[in-house]
A and B are shown apart, each in its own frame.
Chain A
Amino acid sequence: MSHASVLQANEADGIFVALGDASRRAILKMVLQGPQSVSVLAGAIDVTLTAVSQHLRIMESCGLVRTRKVGRVRMCEADRRGLDVLADWVSLNRRMWEERFERLDAMLRDEAPPAP
């Protein structure tokens, strides 16, 4: 389906928890535009470097962002794995109904009374 399947159990839960916080949603919105340095992120959402690092640790652990050192600067970028989990969730509801009707169809065929 997607790269999302490589995520461990409960990481989807982790994503929803991670995005329950307005600062972390603001961080994700910014890095979706392109990689940002951690200090720029801290300045943009007006928190300390320590606070933004804590947010980023939570977001990294559920696959929403990645960070890496470029020289002396720590850069943060969006991670497809977490985003794919979100997209899968978005499409899940419709897919569930399609599959239900397929199972209903199969069940009705299995139960069909013998032809007279």
Chain B
Amino acid sequence: MTTAAQFDTFTMEREFDASPARVYAAFADPRRKRQWFAESDHHQVEAFTMQFEVGGRESASYRFNAGSPFAGVLLESDGVYLDLVPDSRIVNAATMAIGGRRISASVHTFEFSPAPGGGTRLRFTHQAAFFEGADGPDMRRAGWQQLLDRLQAALDSVAA
């Protein structure tokens, strides 16, 4: 049996003290993208590959470190670039899997615009189909019943 998927959209806005060309380049260069996108104190990067072109693939896998809440767990993402407009827009889509189980599919839209003073404003929109839709505090408020319903929806959709 398949239960309806759960959907969530959120937007983050950031301002960077660097030109749109420099910010865009930090997304385009695999070495530098790995540095800010993949590397973290929370996990080891087991693999990171990307082809920065429309239709190009980006795949990453991470193993959470001891001491993190997901110690030892494998997290994998696999995605494709859908739209690239130099210095102004990047769109990709990706799935995420935990412990080998695919748990979400999402579209990521990065829009860059010049900010006053020579910086860059980034608007990031994350549109996802998955079970862990809202953030932690929202979910805690929503209660465990709803979390379980979402979990069930995701597990059912994976099993379908």
Contact = CB atoms under 8 A, between A and B. Distances in A.
A80 to B, nearest CB: 11
Contacts of A108: 16-18, 22-23, 26
A97 B151 contact: no
A103 B101 CA distance: 28
Interface string A4-27: 110111101100110110100100
B17 A5 contact: no
Name which of A19, A86, A88 has the most chain B CB atoms within 10 A of its CB: A86
B136 A32 contact: no
Contact of B148 (A1, A28, A94, A100): A28
A12 B74 CA distance: 10
B136 A97 contact: no
Interface in A61-116: 78, 83-94, 96-101, 103-109, 111-112
A112 B26 CA distance: 12
A101 B40 CA distance: 12
A96 B135 CA distance: 11
Contacts of A20: 101, 155
Contact of A107 (B36, B66, B68, B135): B36
A89 B12 CA distance: 19
Interface residues of B, number: 46
B105 to A, nearest CB: 12
Chain B interface, >50% SS class? mixed
A101 B145 CA distance: 32
Given A89-B132, A97-B124, A16 B98 contact: yes
Main secondary structure of the interface of A (DSSP, over half): helix
A57 interface: no
Nearest to A101: B14
B134 interface: yes
A5 B69 contact: yes
B104 A93 contact: yes
B12 A91 contact: no
B117 interface: no
B39 A103 contact: yes
Nearest to B1: A22
A31 to B, nearest CB: 10
B98 A89 contact: yes
A10 B73 contact: yes
Interface string B31-47: 01001110110000000
16 contacts: A1-B69, A4-B69, A8-B71, A9-B66, A12-B69, A25-B148, A28-B148, A78-B144, A88-B70, A94-B135, A103-B35, A104-B16, A104-B26, A105-B14, A108-B16, A109-B17
